[in-house]
A and B are shown apart, each in its own frame.
Chain A
């Protein structure tokens, strides 16, 4: 496989986009999408043509060679896979993932890339493990009730296993319930919270067992 620079890869993908839309791409269209001047495009096209990736015909029309098409499709595939790795496997929000994928696309070694795909496929095939990982990953975002500031409201995620679990659950501290920290006792412990329209007091080491998210 030939080596393409980052910019060359981008050109190739742009050309693929245009050619799939209307069989041929024109230099001025490409200049427009990439927001560069015509001469810049012309010189880039020249290099690609030299590598036998595209056919540069007259009137500024460009088509991909068979080799070029395969190359571009591989590139596209790679781009998609990396994006999927970021969003699905790592759970990165799409807007951040697109930016990061762009950074990874060009510089990633083949080995690392292939392991990325394997990991993504493995997790897709084993939803329970995926779920465990998601929970594990999300835990960082979770807090314990005793860490919530006075006046703040949080949503209960779960009650940790402990002798007080069943008591807490039966008093209505079930997952999904909104819980507000009202105040701390004058001596710093216990705390007072409201949930389901009533007031509850519990010690901080008891509140520790209630996992919440803000």
Chain B
């Protein structure tokens, strides 16, 4: 069977994913672009005797190389050479959307123009596709992915265009600039960069950093120098050459759009439902309360409703573990199946309800257009601590559970900002840490403002998160610098299809199971192994390997006030999930009911507080580590997160204990 590759490209919020889903159905495969955490989606469909592979490129506004997304898209087009680039535009906003299209034509690739969301302009704007098609030298198809209009025609058009040559489209930059372009083009004849020569020449005049770098790598500095000379002489005529070039492109587009469209309603009547919704949603007084309400609903649904299912899942795995172990007589195998395998699988599955529900809500809010508004409302607050507005939601979710919270950082576009938000998230005190606080404050601070003690821990978590953000911003080279710029479109509100929301939530859950799940399972099995060897000892007892580890770590923990092996073992088990610290202590001291008698022998109120601080800050649980690895796609950053939090936990606990002892 013949096969072709087609790339989908478009501005953000044009319904590109919906078109992708309609084209490829269930064949979609989600991965990452090499070396970065930008998502790459691939799928395929068959038309007649031909297999057409579809690659979904990141949503971008231009083909300059300013952001990672733009570089990925441009690199894919010039280096992988797809047979056709399908450019999807928002019909309600032709002028800005066509800018990317014109850039594609300049790159000299074969294109197909898709006017999506055609249903939204129905009786407002008339688009003459024949005129549009002949002036832009491309085939034009009208679609509405959510209403399933024009998908068949789109497949047919893709198939047809693969077999026909296409005329090129030139933007006329005026005599002076055109002469410079010609001269640079002549110089480029000896080079073998994969771009179209005219595109290269124009990009050199725009001082595209990536192209300059590529030419320098090929020892063609002379071309770059010549281009700079051309720029210098052109700037005598056009003091702002960059603006001039972009203006010329927009000039062409405005002419074409004016010629091929007709407004059917007056400007006043174009005030859409979307604008009316925004009058309330981003209102000066209502904006923040509405955002808080939205967050409350998402939070409650994720953790209350999700928790409800999670409890049953936990019970089920507990029951399954007990049930199965009855049939296994070898004690080591029995323990492995119960505590390692089934316990491990349970630890993974128990997060599923949370993640599924959270992403049902988040994809709904994203697709409906609210997430951009949330960022608009919260940007100022987050900006003051060195994070973008979109970081607010992941941080709030961290109070529920850091695992889905870290997965929610996907909505942050800038890689630096996202990495930073991921790295500080584990310091936000999740609900799994609460049992530790409750147990210890119950024993040591019963008469002494237990509420305030717990509150102080939550506050400490937030403070450490903020300070870490500031520290990373000013010291780590990969994170250095200011918050990325905002400059973001507020898309019109749209009702997403249920299918799209479900699909998105499922994709996220599947990713969690596949990649984070594997790490979590391995981690649980490792802890089981450490607690069981040498085989024959009592599980997690003083004689087991984990007991030995506890004894090894105890002296290191003694400056923090809890230098005994049981504390170290409890903390190691806290890796599985932080609430396990309580259960482990119970086991070590012969039952949770015995703790209130046993613990005061080992802890003072001060060292108990230091221990809670340690529990708050040290290594995130295995599930969080797994998801950090999944989202950063980097062992280095995962390891950094682990060691940094371990260090911060230890130093905070020690400082509190030492200073407290002096006072």
Residues in A lying within 8 Å of B, measured CB to CB: 128, 158-159, 163-172, 174-176, 183-190, 192, 196-203, 206
Contacts and interface: CB of A to CB of B under 8 A. Distances in A.
B487 A200 contact: yes
Interface of B: 61-62, 64, 66, 92-93, 95-96, 99, 206, 236, 240, 242-243, 246-247, 250, 270, 278, 282-285, 287-288, 372, 375-381, 383, 485-492
A185 B373 CA distance: 9
B87 to A, nearest CB: 15
A197 B381 contact: no
Most chain A Cβ neighbours within 10 Å, of B250, B287, B381 = B250
A200 B485 contact: no
6 contacts: A163-B485, A170-B64, A186-B285, A189-B383, A200-B488, A206-B485
Given A172-B96, A174-B247, A200 B489 contact: yes
Contact of B377 (A158, A159, A185, A197): A185
Nearest to B286: A186
A188 B62 contact: no
A140 B171 CA distance: 34
A197 B92 contact: yes
Nearest to B270: A197
A188 B380 contact: yes
Given A172-B95, A197-B92, A203 B285 contact: no
A167 B242 contact: no
A166 B486 CA distance: 14
Among all A-B residue pairs, the 9 with the closest Cβ atoms? A170-B62, A187-B380, A199-B490, A186-B287, A169-B246, A172-B96, A189-B380, A198-B93, A202-B487
A189 B284 CA distance: 11
B64 A206 contact: no
A184 B99 CA distance: 28
Contact of B243 (A128, A158, A199): A158
Contacts of A201: 372, 375-376, 486-490
B377 A186 contact: yes
Nearest to B287: A186
Contacts of A159: 243
A54 to B, nearest CB: 54
Contact of B486 (A184, A190, A197): A190
Given A169-B243, A197-B93, A174 B372 contact: no
A176 B251 CA distance: 11
Contacts of A163: 485
Contacts of A206: 485-487
A200 B378 CA distance: 16
B95 A197 contact: yes
A85 to B, nearest CB: 26
Nearest to A162: B485
A159 B284 CA distance: 28
A190 B376 contact: yes
A172 B383 contact: no
